[in-house]
Chains A and B, each alone.
Chain A
């Protein structure tokens, strides 16, 4: 069997990649994909702990996280389309009305 810590390290690496993408990327769609990557990393942690502790609620929580992620993707992409219609850009640096 694979030790639990291997899964946790893999999940941490994936989450770190998501955070880095969120901070580095300037395209709003890629930033959104980084958020999905972070959610997936957390899901891996849930499933790994569920398998280690023999508790099934982890799988149910993953299901709820997926539902929330799907709802978030639908609303977020609609917002992106709306922003593109008004600002004609996908670059977050150009969406700067509230910037200091």
Chain B
């Protein structure tokens, strides 16, 4: 079976569509993040006394892993574009790091949850779950996209001439990464 190759024009189409999507969906995150800041500003003390704080080391480790996955995926796409070898290995590494981030996030939640702090236990917990759950929904979508590319690459359908899907998946993952950085700094550090 011969595959149709995409031309340069199509790649720009897809990149533009993706850029508009990310610009648009940033508004959703921005809304939630601003709501978080406004509600936080209304609380007399932050974090409130007596709430279960999510583990900062786990969150920091997750952030590092997520950053690494984004860098590796970026390098994979660059290799795909320039035709240098090593795309598949890098993509697989990036995917593994992405899964590791999801695992660390799950660990982060179980730590809070097992201490009996559900979303209804305090405003702090509510905001924590709201921000991380919404982000996690995007992590899940991103993982599916990364897996899809991995599978397509294994079937030989990702090449220098057919790289829009891989590039879009990586772009989406960079977006997920960037959003997490903002959330991490905003929620855990400041």
Instruction: State whether these chains interact.
Output: no
Q: Which residues of B contact A (CB under 8 A)?
A: none
Q: Which residues of A contact B (CB under 8 A)?
A: none
